[in-house]
């Protein structure tokens, strides 16, 4: 039941301006729709932005993760350590290759993978090949500690940077902190191309493998094939690859979004600052700030209700009744039927992730929100909490 006649504030909305629209129209008029010059340009700019040698555009973060794991030879019998507090794509890509994701619990403050819990899991098995940390909500993981574990246990680090643009840790951008980074440009992400993703790495041979595997295992990209000196009909298939390339229409949008990425982050930061100022003293845990000098992307603003029996679902419904969209990130993987049954997991196997799940609410935080929208969200949170206290 809606209590208000005001417009509904959705949980998320993309920020598509005239520049993005013009860039896509120009691309459509050019007649070149698939991977081409725009994608190459987007890759060059993205690599510069993140501070890596190679950026490889693909059509999702899921594709980026799959390609990264494949390039490092992850396969049956191998294990990859990750967090249960993520979207299923993080772990499912490990299964694509016949390997097994293994979870470690999260830190109760940052909600990122807890390095102490991670080390305990690593000690239990010798088949670990990689660490797959997620910079949850856009807050960088403790990469010093994770890098130490990678060195000690001889593991590759693949950053799931789906939420992490722009995000930095000790002066370096997410996506340049491990061996490979994987970004998402899905419609609700901080850089949006509708669907899209990017792999970042300094590793030449991994970049080469990913370049080949993202397009059918063909040794040359489509555009190179049509523009190079060799006959355009000639190509060589060197592996059974995938169809993961990014179209130029998406890259055209991406270029425009990237040019505004820092500004858009500042707006989200100011929304987070406002929420923090309004919510102090309420019976909720506020999201952690980035450490001094680090940068939080603020893809998500996640509060946690306090109390042993949090009325989280009721809280989200009450916000919706006031015209405010909210969501939950995430239903942890270890309680999802597939993961639970395949690995015989129980909610209490990862008590921190399960506790946070029961209490967490993601509030709207996006640049298309007006100041009035932001104020309405904050007021609604306060009003709903006050009504909870009365009954």
Ligand X SMILES: Cc1ncc(COP(=O)(O)O)c(C=O)c1O
**Distance of closest approach, residue 141 Cβ to ligand X, in angstroms:** 12
Phi, psi of 225, rounded to the nearest 5 degrees: -60, -40
Contact 90, 132 (CB under 8 A): yes
Q: Is 162 in the site for ligand X (CB under 6 A)?
A: yes
**Distance of closest approach, residue 43 Cβ to ligand X, in angstroms:** 16
**156 is a catalytic site residue:** no
Instruction: Return d(Cα 300, Cα 327) in angstroms, integer.
Output: 10
- Determine how β-strand 128-132 pairs with β-strand 79-82: parallel
**Residues β-bridged to residue 131:** 81, 157
Q: Is 315 in the site for ligand X (CB under 6 A)?
A: no
Q: Given the complex with ligand X, which of 150 and 333 has the nearer CB atom?
A: 333
**Distance of closest approach, residue 7 Cβ to ligand X, in angstroms:** 26
Q: Is 190 in the site for ligand X (CB under 6 A)?
A: no
Contact 139, 132 (CB under 8 A): no
Q: Given the complex with ligand X, which of 142 and 380 has the nearer CB atom?
A: 142
Given the residues 79, 189, 243, 368, select the one marked as catalytic: 189
Neighbours of 133 (CB within 10 A): 29
Q: Is 82 in the site for ligand X (CB under 6 A)?
A: no
Of the candidate spans 81-89, 199-207, 251-259, 264-272, the one that interacts with ligand X by CB under 6 A turns out to be: 81-89
Q: Is 81 in the site for ligand X (CB under 6 A)?
A: no
Q: Is 61 in the site for ligand X (CB under 6 A)?
A: yes
- Range list of H helices, the chain: 18-30, 37-50, 61-71, 88-96, 115-122, 143-153, 204-213, 222-227, 248-259, 261-279, 312-321, 337-342, 351-359, 371-390
Q: Given the complex with ligand X, which of 115 and 181 has the nearer CB atom?
A: 181
Site string for ligand X, 83-122 (x = CB under 6 A): ---xx-xx--------------------------------
How far does the chain reach from its first CA to its final CA, in angstroms?
Answer: 19
Q: Is 60 in the site for ligand X (CB under 6 A)?
A: yes
Contact 360, 329 (CB under 8 A): yes
**Distance of closest approach, residue 327 Cβ to ligand X, in angstroms:** 11
Of the candidate spans 7-15, 59-67, 208-216, 288-296, the one that interacts with ligand X by CB under 6 A turns out to be: 59-67
Instruction: Return d(Cα 159, Cα 198) in angstroms, integer.
Output: 12
For 333, the token pair is 């993987």
Q: Given the complex with ligand X, which of 97 and 383 has the nearer CB atom?
A: 97
Q: Residues binding ligand X: what is the number (CB under 6 A)?
A: 14
Q: Supply the residues annotated as catalytic.
A: 189
Name the site residues for ligand X (rule: CB under 6 A): 60-62, 86-87, 89-90, 134, 160, 162-163, 184, 186, 197
């Amino acid at each position: 039941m809606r209590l208000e006649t005001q417009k509904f504030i959705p949980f998320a909305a993309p920020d598509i301006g005239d520049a993005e629209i013009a860039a896509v129209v120009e691309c459509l008029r050019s007649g070149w729709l698939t991977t081409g010059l725009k994608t190459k340009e987007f890759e060059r700019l993205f690599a510069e932005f993140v501070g890596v040698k190679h950026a490889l555009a693909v059509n999702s973060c899921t594709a980026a993760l799959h390609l990264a794991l494949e390039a490092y030879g992850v396969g049956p019998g191998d294990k990859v350590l990750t967090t249960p507090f993520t979207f299923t794509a993080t772990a499912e890509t490990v299964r694509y290759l016949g390997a097994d994701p293994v979870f470690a619990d999260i830190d109760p403050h940052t909600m990122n993978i807890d390095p102490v819990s991670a080390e305990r899991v690593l000690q239990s098995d010798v088949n670990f090949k990689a660490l797959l940390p997620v910079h949850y909500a856009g807050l960088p993981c403790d990469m010093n500690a994770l890098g130490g574990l990678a060195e000690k246990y001889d593991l590759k680090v693949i950053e799931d940077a789906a939420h992490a643009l722009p995000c930095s840790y000790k002066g370096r951008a997410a996506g340049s902190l491990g061996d490979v980074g994987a970004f998402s440009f899905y419609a609700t992400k901080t850089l949006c191309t509708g669907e899209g993703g990017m792999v970042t790495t300094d590793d030449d041979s991994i970049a080469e493998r990913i370049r080949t595997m993202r397009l059918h295992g063909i040794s040359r990209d489509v555009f190179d094939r049509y523009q190079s000196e060799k006959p355009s009909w000639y190509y060589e298939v060197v592996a059974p690859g995938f169809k993961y390339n990014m179209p130029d229409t998406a890259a055209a949008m991406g270029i425009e979004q990237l040019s505004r990425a820092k500004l858009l982050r500042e707006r989200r930061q100011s929304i987070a600052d406002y929420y923090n100022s309004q919510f102090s003293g309420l019976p909720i845990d506020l999201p952690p700030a980035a450490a001094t000098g680090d940068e939080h992307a603020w893809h998500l603003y996640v509060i946690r209700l306090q109390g042993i029996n949090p009325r989280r679902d009721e809280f989200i419904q009450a916000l919706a009744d006031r015209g405010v969209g909210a969501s939950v990130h995430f239903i942890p993987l270890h309680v999802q039927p597939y993961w639970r049954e395949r690995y015989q997991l129980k909610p209490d196997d990862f008590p921190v992730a399960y506790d946070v799940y029961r209490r967490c609410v993601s509030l709207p935080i996006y640049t298309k929100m007006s100041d009035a929208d932001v104020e309405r969200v904050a007021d609604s949170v306060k009003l709903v909490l006050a009504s909870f206290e009365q009954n």
